[in-house]
Structure 1
Amino acid sequence: MPHQGEILQEAIKNSGISITRIVEELGITRPTIYRKFKDDTLDVNFVQAVGKIIGHDFSNDFTIIQQSTLPFVTNVTRNAVSQPVSVRAANNSAAEMDVSKQLMALQTKYIALLEAYNELLLKVYGPR
């Protein structure tokens, strides 16, 4: 059974969209996405971002058993709602989504910065 990185790679290949376009839109480098292809598990926000770019829904690509063991999947127990949801709760949820997007953007920028720094070190000092 292929792992998540392989599933992501196959979906990108089947989409016909270039890796260059995907990494530019994500704000990451090519080596980063190639490392992601080797990962057994991937961050759900990263997978969703790639899915938006290539127009692919990854929720159907992972089996229920596989999804239940993933680090980014949380099991949510849903109870019947006896009272209507307040506007305040909806705003909190939207605010949490906004914070989550900001955090993902910062993480992406941080990784890109680290990779640029490593490339600079290699240029200045050469390989070991």
Structure 2
Amino acid sequence: MAHHGEILQEAIKNSGISISHLVQELGITRPTIYRKFKEATLDYSFVKRVGEVIQHDFTNDFDTPVQSQLHFTPPVVTPSTVTRQQVLQAVDQDCTKALMALQAKYIALLEAYNELLLKMYGPK
């Protein structure tokens, strides 16, 4: 199985987009992205968000189970073919995306708080 963090790091490096710009767009901190580079498996929604920022399609970079969830272009659906289950899946995806955005903001806030504590009180 491919190491997701390494694949992500290589794609970011090849994109020419700076880490500073990337973390600003994602709403995370530099230490967070560097921790992600060390992770063997990454959440597909995070990888997709990074791909959107650096304009890179990770569909062919990951193994088969992850590939099916990384498609960047949604399928064309006509109103006559939309089922109740498809509508519910779309709602679930929107909720997941909103939750991931809140999680990223929360992590960034916690990291900023930790940095402030270190500045105020120093290491133990």
TM-score normalized by the length of structure 2:
0.81
Change (3 A) 1:86 1:3: closer
> Percent identity between the aligned chains?
65
- Alignment correspondent of 1:119: 115
Write the deviation string for residues 53-79 of structure 1: whole angstroms up to 9, x where unpaired: 111111211233xx47xxxx7xxxxxx
- For residue 95 of structure 1, report the CA deviation from its aligned partner: 1.3
Q: Does structure 1 residue 98 correspond to structure 2 residue 94?
A: yes
Runs of 4+ in 1 over 4 A off after TM superposition: 84-87
Distance 1:2 1:95, change over 3 A: closer
The aligned counterpart of 1:29 is 29
The one-letter code of the counterpart of 2:61 is D
Q: Unpaired segments of 5 or more residues in structure 2?
A: 70-79
Counterpart residue type for residue 17 of structure 1: I
115-124 vs 54-63, greater mean Cα deviation:
54-63
Answer whether contact 2:2 2:62 (CA < 8 A) is retained.
no
Amino acid at match of 1:57: D
Secondary structure of the residue aligned to 1:127 is coil
- Whole-Å Cα distance in 1 between the matches of residues 59 and 35 of structure 2? 21
Structure 1 residue 8 displacement after superposition:
0.3
1:78-100 deviation digits (Å, cap 9, x = unpaired): xxxxxx75553333222111111
Q: Tell me the residue number matched to 1:108.
A: 104
On the 8 A contact 2:2/2:63 being kept in 1, the answer is: no
Hey, what does 2:74 align to over in structure 1?
A: none
